[in-house]
């Protein structure tokens, strides 16, 4: 009965990952005309395709939980690891999917459970279910998440000291996680003060739903999926600090990026052509300075997934 929902979720998520990276120009991100040394458009496309089987397994497990009216979803941490690990088998680039794998491993089962339990998906119900899903994550999920981070090996992570969670590169991380009964929820909650990906995973998908609403608005206004995605990304960039930018470039640069994005978003509202011209200049500036707001891109991809599933945007 719900296999068609699972198929729609899988198609929506993989299509969203590809549409997000292809959308041009998103300031600082990889897209059709900009690649970094260790990541290009092709890496993201291959990585997205490789993830489908990981998400399918997770959604089958979610279906079994949903039919019992439970919001415990087994294998969330394993799914994140599966996506990162399988991605690495298919490309020679760097970390291209840790953030999206984390978000979608919460978002996709939450959508399916909302449909099963409420026979419909509203944003209010989805947010409530998502909070329950992440709170029900386990110690095993945390261990697998740490393994996923170590596999992805993102360059922007700092060292964790005197914290309720172990440092990800601590050789005894698994023992410390298990002995202290640290769950994936605990890990994400600790990181959520700075990291927008972790924050949206524990707060009921607030930023994802916000992006979804932006997408609907921009798609109705312009009728073009590329414009809707780029402008959604810009709006989110104008409101939130990006964890990767904070870690790699500092608070001052992060504030500049956010403020400049806000100025350009307002200019686009006043004069579309001038605004788009400024947007392209901003994109080139961030690319030259190697300022890549990857966390905001991850939120955007999740918002596209939701909009595609809800049939609010078309390619």
Q: What is the CATH number of the domain that holds 300?
A: 1.10.4200.10
From residue 25, give the alpha-carbon distance in Å to each of 14, 96, 144, 278, 280: 20, 18, 34, 11, 6
Cα–Cα dist 276/26, whole Å: 11
Domain total of the chain: 1
Q: What's the pLDDT tens digit per position in 167-211?
A: 999 999 999 999 999 999 999 999 999 999 999 999 999 999 999
Whether the predicted pLDDT of 1 surpasses 90 = no
Task: Categorize the per-residue pLDDT at 299 as very low, low, confident or very high, splitting at 50, 70 and 90.
Answer: very high
Short-list 192, 196, 274, 189, CA closest to 233: 196
pTM of the predicted model as reported, rounded to 2 decimal places: 0.97
Q: Write out the residue range of the structural domain in which residue 293 sits.
A: 3-309
211, part of any domain: yes
Q: What is the mean pLDDT of residues 36-55?
A: 96
315, part of any domain: no
Cα–Cα dist 84/151, whole Å: 7
Q: Which residue reads 């899903």 in tokens?
A: 133
Q: Which residue reads 């991605």 in tokens?
A: 87
Phi-psi domain of 180 (left: phi exceeds 0; alpha: psi -120 through 50; beta: other): alpha
Whether the predicted pLDDT of 294 surpasses 80 = yes
Q: What is the mean pLDDT of residues 275-293?
A: 98
139, part of any domain: yes
314, part of any domain: no
145, part of any domain: yes
């Amino acid at each position: 009965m719900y296999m068609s929902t699972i198929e729609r979720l899988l198609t929506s998520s993989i299509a969203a990952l590809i549409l997000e990276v292809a959308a041009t120009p998103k300031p600082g991100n990889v897209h059709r005309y900009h690649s970094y040394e260790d990541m290009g458009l092709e890496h993201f496309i291959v990585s997205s395709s490789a993830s489908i089987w990981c998400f399918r397994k997770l959604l089958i497990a979610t279906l079994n939980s949903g039919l019992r009216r439970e919001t415990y979803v087994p294998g969330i941490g394993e799914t994140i690891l599966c996506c990162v690990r399988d991605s690495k088998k298919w490309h020679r680039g760097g970390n291209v999917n840790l953030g999206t794998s984390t978000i979608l491993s919460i978002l996709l089962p939450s959508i399916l459970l909302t449909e099963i339990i409420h026979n419909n998906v509203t944003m209010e119900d989805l947010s409530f279910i998502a909070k329950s899903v992440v709170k029900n994550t386990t110690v095993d999920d945390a261990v697998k998440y740490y393994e996923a981070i170590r596999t992805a090996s993102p360059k922007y992570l700092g060292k964790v000291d005197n914290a309720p969670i172990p440092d990800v590169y601590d050789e005894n991380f698994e023992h410390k996680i298990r002995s202290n009964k640290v769950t994936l929820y605990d890990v994400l909650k600790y990181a959520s003060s700075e990291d927008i990906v972790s924050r949206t995973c524990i707060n009921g998908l607030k930023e994802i739903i916000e992006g979804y609403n932006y997408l609907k608005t921009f798609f109705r206004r312009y009728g073009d999926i590329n414009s809707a995605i780029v402008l959604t990304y810009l709006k989110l960039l104008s409101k939130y600090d990006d964890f990767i930018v904070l870690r790699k470039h500092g608070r001052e640069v992060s504030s500049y990026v956010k403020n400049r994005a806000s100025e350009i978003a307002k200019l686009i509202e006043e004069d579309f052509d001038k605004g788009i011209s400024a947007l392209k200049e901003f994109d080139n500036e961030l690319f030259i300075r190697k300022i890549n707001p990857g966390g905001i891109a991850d939120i955007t991809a999740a918002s596209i997934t939701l909009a595609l599933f809800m049939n609010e945007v078309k390619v």
